[in-house]
């Protein structure tokens, strides 16, 4: 036991004196979280049900007591849309306003069935806007029109707007279920996605400093010296891995702090930490186990530091691309979504999202945690087996 404690103490000292390594492990994922959360904020708003911004124009708007004005008022109540009066020459752009609703001069007449019905509203979109968003906007405008028209019919029949909504539109007929009833369908916002995603990436990135250290010690015969002093290879590895587990937990603390405290200052949504902290630590430790197992394997199979650096870096990027770190899984096509489960980063991210987005507890992350720990154990065992084999065969 004293050997293990001494090894942990030694490894911690070495880590604290390796400023380059610490920068890679803490600053890099922190920067990724900041940059990606802010950069993808708009995209996630589109994908995740946030309001779509558009212009409103038309010469009828200033005339009071017209149906056009009533239509505009109803349009402003639409939860999916955020509209603003257009200035002359206002451009459509994905970075700001994505669509334009133009109320034509003959809106009231068209609504009353006088003349061409196509003279009511014109809808135009920014060229970059996706088909899903176009359909969503069109549906919102159509719904507004239906509500206005139904209200007018109801009023003609002597009923009020509330009656029209309740009995004619049946607005309460469809219930959207959120939370426990429909957990898997809940989508994260930019911060909820990017904080755990780049945390996981940072955790797996320890394979670079870890494997470098192991290979250095192997080349310098320090590992051999420890073995001749009677220290088993498994204990040598354990003494090295445990400080890295602590590093992974410190990464968790830093990334959560950035998500909860720093990102709101930059205009992003704050990461809510009103979640199961135990579940969060559980999935973090499990992710760390898988990352450390992978790091051990990279160290065991690589002969040189250069090989280990390339293998670690490339594998992290591939795991991240496949596992929904760089591109969220919910925007991937179905085949890629299925393939993403090949990456342990996907298992980890799914676990983090279960806690941070869907409010799950330990039970919600149990399977993912088990898979990650099992993988970590398997990889670490393989690493020790390969190290022993190479000792006798190389």
Partner 1 sequence: MLSIKGLSFGYPRQPVHLDGLTLDVARGDILGLLGPNGAGKTTLVSLIAGLLKPAAGSIQLAGEPAALGRRELALVPQEYAFYLRLTGRENLDYFAAVCHSNPQTRRAAVERAIEETGLGELQHQLAARYSGGFKRRLNIAIALLQAPELLILDEPTANVDPQSRAFLLDVVRRLNQSGTTIIYTSHLLDEVEDLCRSVAVMDRGRILLQGDMKSLLAEQHCLHLALPSAPPAALLAQAGVVKRDESPSAQEWEFDLDRLGISAAQLLLQLEQAGITPIQIHYGQRRLESVFLTALARENERL
- By the 8 A CB rule, do 100 and 57 touch? yes
Smallest gap from Cβ 5 to partner 1, in A, equals 8
For partner 1, which is the closer residue by CB, 190 or 213? 213
Tell me if residue 61 falls in helix, strand or coil: coil
For partner 1, which is the closer residue by CB, 304 or 391? 391
* Residue 340 to residue 320: CA distance in whole angstroms: 9
- By the 8 A CB rule, do 311 and 301 touch? yes
Smallest gap from Cβ 208 to partner 1, in A, equals 17
Q: Is the dihedral of CA 356, 358, 362, 365 positive or negative?
A: negative
For partner 1, which is the closer residue by CB, 6 or 39? 6
Smallest gap from Cβ 377 to partner 1, in A, equals 24
Residues in touch with partner 1 (CB under 8 A): 2-3, 5-7, 9-10, 13-14, 17-18, 219-222, 224-231, 391-394
Q: Give Rg (Cα) of the chain.
A: 28
Smallest gap from Cβ 337 to partner 1, in A, equals 44
* Residue 91 to residue 109: CA distance in whole angstroms: 29
* Residue 365 to residue 282: CA distance in whole angstroms: 8
* Residue 348 to residue 318: CA distance in whole angstroms: 15
Smallest gap from Cβ 380 to partner 1, in A, equals 21
Smallest gap from Cβ 381 to partner 1, in A, equals 20
For partner 1, which is the closer residue by CB, 38 or 301? 301
For partner 1, which is the closer residue by CB, 175 or 228? 228
For partner 1, which is the closer residue by CB, 231 or 336? 231
């Amino acid at each position: 036991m004293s050997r293990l404690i001494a090894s942990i103490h030694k490894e911690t000292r070495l880590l604290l004196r390796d400023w380059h390594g610490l920068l890679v492990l803490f600053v890099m994922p922190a920067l990724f979280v900041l940059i990606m959360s802010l950069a993808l904020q708009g995209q996630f708003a589109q994908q995740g049900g946030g309001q779509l911004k558009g212009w409103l124009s038309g010469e009828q708007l200033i005339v009071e007591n017209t149906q056009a004005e009533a239509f505009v008022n109803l349009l402003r109540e639409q939860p999916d849309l955020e509209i603003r009066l257009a200035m002359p020459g206002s451009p459509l752009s994905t970075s700001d306003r994505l669509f334009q609703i133009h109320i034509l001069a003959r809106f009231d007449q068209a609504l009353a069935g006088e003349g061409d019905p196509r003279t009511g509203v014109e809808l135009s979109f920014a060229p970059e806007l996706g088909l899903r968003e176009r359909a969503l906007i069109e549906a919102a405008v159509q719904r507004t029109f239906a509500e206005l028209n139904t209200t007018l019919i109801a009023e003609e029949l002597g009923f009020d707007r509330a009656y029209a909504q309740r009995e004619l539109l049946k607005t309460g007929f469809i219930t959207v279920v959120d939370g426990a009833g429909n957990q898997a369908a809940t989508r994260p916002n930019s911060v909820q996605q990017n904080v755990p995603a780049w945390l996981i990436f940072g955790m797996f990135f320890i394979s670079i400093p870890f494997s470098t250290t192991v290979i250095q010690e192997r080349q310098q015969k320090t590992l051999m010296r420890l073995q001749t002093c009677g220290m088993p290879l498994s204990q040598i590895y354990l003494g090295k891995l445990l400080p890295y587990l602590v590093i992974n937990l410190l990464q968790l603390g830093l990334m959560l702090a950035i998500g909860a405290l720093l990102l709101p200052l930059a205009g992003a949504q704050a990461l809510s930490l009103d979640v199961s902290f135990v579940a969060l630590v559980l999935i973090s430790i499990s992710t760390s186990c898988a990352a450390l197992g992978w790091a051990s394997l990279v160290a065991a199979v690589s002969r040189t530091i250069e090989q280990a650096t390339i293998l670690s870096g490339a594998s992290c990027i591939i795991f991240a691309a496949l596992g929904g770190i760089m591109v969220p899984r919910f925007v991937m096509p179905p085949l890629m979504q299925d393939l993403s489960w090949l990456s342990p980063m996907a298992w980890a991210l799914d676990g983090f999202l279960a806690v941070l987005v869907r409010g799950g507890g330990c039970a919600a992350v149990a399977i993912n945690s088990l898979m990650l720990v099992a993988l970590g154990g398997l990889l670490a065992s393989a690493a020790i087996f390969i190290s022993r084999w190479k000792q006798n065969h190389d």
